[in-house]
Structure 1
Amino acid sequence: MTRIVMDVDTGIDDTLALAYVLAAVRAGECELAGVVGTYGNVLASTAMANNRAVLRLFDAAVPGGTSGVPTPRGCVCPSWADGFAVDEGCARFHGDNGLGNVDPTRYGDRPSDGGTAGLVGPNDESGSDDAPTITVADRMRAASRPAVLSLGGERHDLPVRLADGDGDDAAQPFGGQTRAETMNLAASDASYANRPSQWRADCPEASRPDGLPAGVRLIIDEVRAHGRDVTVLATGPLTDVDAALAAAPDIAERMRLVMMGGALTQEGNCYDLICETNIFQDPEAANRVFRSGADVTMIGLDVTHQCLLTRADAESWRAADGPREDGDRPGAGAFLADMARFYIGANEASDPLFLAGSPLHDPLAAAVALDPALVTCFDVNMMTETSTGNGHGFRGRTIGDPTRLRDPRKTAHVALNVDAARAAASIRDRIGELCANNA
């Protein structure tokens, strides 16, 4: 039986991907070996808390429950950065809490004892309400190098752009914003200055003898123990996968990775219309993963923009909860429907293209991890461009690797066609079954 290790930056579509995998667990089609929370749509600590909240919500639907599923934290920032702040684009599409501003503790037949957590301390992976919140303004006052804020924008202008980690704007033609410019922005925009930020000091490395976040160690241990019988399903930046490969190069030849990210034949969904958000968060990590020798299936915008979630699809999950009496708590299906309503509205507002439905980015990757026949792939050795400018390409673009063009072994399988109707129906129906059996 296939084992799945999920590595997620738990926003709305990551949550739907998790629900899809739980439906497969319920059906006896796979085992969920762990859900790693990383940065991206939200802070890593929020992703970890969201994972736990969703697992609690669907505990009754899964034989044996979900309490035994490990939910460690991965890396809290890109490999090239000192820190990470959630940008306004992610909040626009996923809400401030990553779940469309929907509180999962208000749903389900059994009240939950926890919700989303704040930042966690260096020796605590469980989350702590007492842990201090570090803001962008705090970090800028303490910084001695340019700001290193990630950019996860989706077709809109952002107040902050990437800064080169070495502090040399000329070496990064993308146009890194200097520390002084960022401090000016923090001084003039209170909402930006007070935005929560998370830094390497908040990683769990300090509590581990090997210096690895527990989520990265989980990936290493699972691949070493099970080889390609375990699938690493990554629906956020590839920082954790890269860290696992760097710490344990021996796992590369044994790793099967299904990732949501990138674009080969379509526009990107960052403001530049070239890059895809997950890849752009950490281009260096993505490039190293592509070149590692691991077997990578790339589920990018080429196919996710064909696989759409409609309002009717989302409302079917609410109906799956069954009739409710006055005073009853809304069910897990209502939670997913309310969350999806936020996501669909945000997508409709962003681009008329999505009036037909909202892309099922991460759920499609989950579906392909369990049913590869859903997509048709082009086998090619891939790379990610890590600099912008003449002779460099464009930072964050996923493209074929010219240095390995003639290599007989192709390690990346880029999905270019998808049975969109079957995939969307499978996602809708399997999640609906999960909700219907969550009593």
Structure 2
Amino acid sequence: MATKKMILDLDTGVDDALALAYGIADPAIDLIGVVASYGNNLLEQTAKNSLQLLELLGQNVPVFKGLEHSSTSDHFNVMQVSKEIHGNNGIGDISLPEPTHKIQAQAGVDFIIEAAHQYGKDLIIVPTGPLTNLAAALRKDPQISHLIGNVTLMGGALTVEGNVSDVAEANINQDAKAANEVFTSSLPITMVGLDVTLRTLLTKKETAKWRQLGTKSGTAYADLTNFYIDAYYNLGIDKHGCAIHDPLAVGVAIDPTFVTTLALPMKVITEEHNYARTIGDKMKLNTSHPNVNVAINVDKERFVPSFMEHLTSLLANH
């Protein structure tokens, strides 16, 4: 299989850390850069987390800073529930060495635009946090909506309730305006939302396999994922394991057959009532070719073992 150029746009918490490892481990992916976002933590922290994890995994992938807050605010505060789920440092409060590499001087938004022009249809962008960076890139250079091969995003909920309100999922809720700009653009989008991610669970049986590898990365990834599993249990999110939200988006970006999708012209509600709801636009049902494929079912029996195989192989060697 030919490798695809991929940019991960991460607000690096625990499942983003798992997505990052997957993006490195899958031979079908050429990870050309990581753009940091606010979300699970402050921008400075999420960028540092990505650098530290890349170094832990023996990778020299450039990390760029995105935007520090949503398009409709002038600051960002980390939600208490984010700290409870991801730890105060975003990665399960594990301790990693200070990074030796530096954050790139180029702005993340400019990196996205440059890569779109350089790689065109060979470029896949996988945002696993707010869509603020991608929306800013679209505003700065609208042409990229016709250049980029695919955007596979983790966010939204169509057939199930949200996780921050009855209708809203956390990433979309961080910046509904930006999300609506992305969804209603000409970008070819696959939405990997709570509809499917909540079905893909990891347990301590899986993390024990990483710990048994006896490697630094195996131990670190077991520790940070166990923190996440415990948070899911203690907060009553799921007593059976933790959802691997962000890794599923990476998997679907490479192998769309992991999910069943429904093609819809999508929009995001930005008014107070139903704020951040991701829903089909009834005004466009008969007038446009839908640019969004919404994942509504997942082959978890195939995806979870594939994810484990890739990660265990990577973690065995670092």
The two structures have a TM-score, normalised by structure 1, of 0.70
Please list, as runs of the form range in 1=range in 2, the aligned pairs for 1:260-299 lying within 5 A after superposition: 260-270=154-164, 272-299=165-192
Q: What stretches of structure 1 of length at least 5 have no aligned partner?
A: 60-65, 106-112, 116-124, 128-203, 208-212, 322-329
How far does residue 408 in structure 1 lie from its aligned partner after superposition?
3.9
Q: Is the 8 A contact 1:13 1:361 kept in 2?
A: yes
The runs of at least 4 consecutive aligned structure 1 residues that moved more than 6 Å come to none
Counterpart for residue 254 of structure 2? 370
Counterpart for residue 333 of structure 1? 218
- Tell me, in whole angstroms, the C-alpha distance in 2 between the residues paired with 1:4 and 1:215: 14
Please list, as runs of the form range in 1=range in 2, the aligned pairs for 1:87-102 lying within 5 A after superposition: 87-102=79-94
1:218 is aligned to 2:115: no
Q: What stretches of structure 2 of length at least 5 have no aligned partner?
A: none
- Tell me, in whole angstroms, the C-alpha distance in 2 between the residues paired with 1:407 and 1:44: 39
**Which of 123, 128, 134 does residue 241 from structure 1 map onto?**
134
Counterpart for residue 278 of structure 2? 398
Q: Is the 8 A contact 1:2 1:229 kept in 2?
A: yes
Q: Which amino acid aligns with 2:272?
A: T
Counterpart for residue 203 of structure 2? 310
**Which of 236, 242, 247 does residue 358 from structure 1 map onto?**
242
Counterpart for residue 83 of structure 1? 75
Q: Which amino acid aligns with 1:244?
A: A
Q: Which amino acid aligns with 2:172?
A: I
- Bigger shift: 419-428 or 290-299? 419-428
Q: 1:396 and 1:228, CA in 2 relative to 1: closer, same or farther beyond 3 A?
A: same
Secondary structure of 1:233's counterpart equals: strand
- Tell me, in whole angstroms, the C-alpha distance in 1 between the residues paired with 2:75 and 2:195: 30
Secondary structure of 2:168's counterpart equals: coil
Post-superposition CA distance 1:15-38 (Å, at most 9, x none): 0000001101xx3x2211100111
Q: Is the 8 A contact 1:320 1:433 kept in 2?
A: no
**Which of 301, 305, 314 does residue 421 from structure 1 map onto?**
301
Q: Which amino acid aligns with 1:267?
A: E
- Tell me, in whole angstroms, the C-alpha distance in 2 between the residues paired with 1:35 and 1:349: 31
- Tell me, in whole angstroms, the C-alpha distance in 1 between the residues paired with 2:119 and 2:68: 26
How far does residue 47 in structure 1 lie from its aligned partner after superposition?
0.9
Q: Which amino acid aligns with 1:397?
A: R
Post-superposition CA distance 1:159-183 (Å, at most 9, x none): xxxxxxxxxxxxxxxxxxxxxxxxx
How far does residue 234 in structure 1 lie from its aligned partner after superposition?
0.4
Secondary structure of 1:114's counterpart equals: coil
Q: Is the 8 A contact 1:17 1:366 kept in 2?
A: yes
Secondary structure of 1:85's counterpart equals: coil
How far does residue 86 in structure 1 lie from its aligned partner after superposition?
0.7
How far does residue 320 in structure 1 lie from its aligned partner after superposition?
2.4
**Which of 93, 99, 103 does residue 114 from structure 1 map onto?**
99
Q: Is the 8 A contact 1:314 1:428 kept in 2?
A: no
- Tell me, in whole angstroms, the C-alpha distance in 1 between the residues paired with 2:221 and 2:39: 20
Bigger Cα Rg: 1
- Tell me, in whole angstroms, the C-alpha distance in 1 between the residues paired with 2:312 and 2:166: 34
Q: Is the 8 A contact 1:233 1:366 kept in 2?
A: yes
**Which of 357, 363, 382 does residue 266 from structure 2 map onto?**
382
Counterpart for residue 38 of structure 2? 39
Please list, as runs of the form range in 1=range in 2, the aligned pairs for 1:54-93 lying within 5 A after superposition: 54-59=53-58, 66-67=59-60, 69-93=61-85
Post-superposition CA distance 1:209-243 (Å, at most 9, x none): xxxx7111111111111112110010000000000
The two structures have a TM-score, normalised by structure 2, of 0.95
How far does residue 126 in structure 1 lie from its aligned partner after superposition?
4.5
- Tell me, in whole angstroms, the C-alpha distance in 1 between the residues paired with 2:187 and 2:284: 15
How far does residue 397 in structure 1 lie from its aligned partner after superposition?
0.6
How far does residue 348 in structure 1 lie from its aligned partner after superposition?
0.9
How far does residue 403 in structure 1 lie from its aligned partner after superposition?
2.2
- Tell me, in whole angstroms, the C-alpha distance in 2 between the residues paired with 1:41 and 1:266: 22
How far does residue 388 in structure 1 lie from its aligned partner after superposition?
2.1
Counterpart for residue 348 of structure 1? 233
- Tell me, in whole angstroms, the C-alpha distance in 1 between the residues paired with 2:212 and 2:315: 9
- Tell me, in whole angstroms, the C-alpha distance in 2 between the residues paired with 1:344 and 1:283: 28
Q: Is the 8 A contact 1:303 1:418 kept in 2?
A: yes
- Tell me, in whole angstroms, the C-alpha distance in 1 between the residues paired with 2:311 and 2:287: 41
Q: Is the 8 A contact 1:3 1:31 kept in 2?
A: yes
Q: Which amino acid aligns with 1:414?
A: V
**Which of 20, 26, 30 does residue 18 from structure 1 map onto?**
20
Percentage of matched positions with identical amino acids = 38
Give the paired residue count. 315
Please list, as runs of the form range in 1=range in 2, the aligned pairs for 1:148-163 lying within 5 A after superposition: none
Secondary structure of 2:159's counterpart equals: coil
- Tell me, in whole angstroms, the C-alpha distance in 2 between the residues paired with 1:408 and 1:283: 22
The CA RMSD measured in Å over matched residues stands at 1.6
How far does residue 422 in structure 1 lie from its aligned partner after superposition?
1.1
Post-superposition CA distance 1:274-308 (Å, at most 9, x none): 21000000000000101111011000000001111
Q: Is the 8 A contact 2:162 2:168 kept in 1?
A: yes
Q: Which amino acid aligns with 2:286?
A: R
Post-superposition CA distance 1:74-120 (Å, at most 9, x none): 00000000110111011010001000111122xxxxxxx439xxxxx
- Tell me, in whole angstroms, the C-alpha distance in 2 between the residues paired with 1:227 and 1:12: 30
Q: Which amino acid aligns with 1:93?
A: I
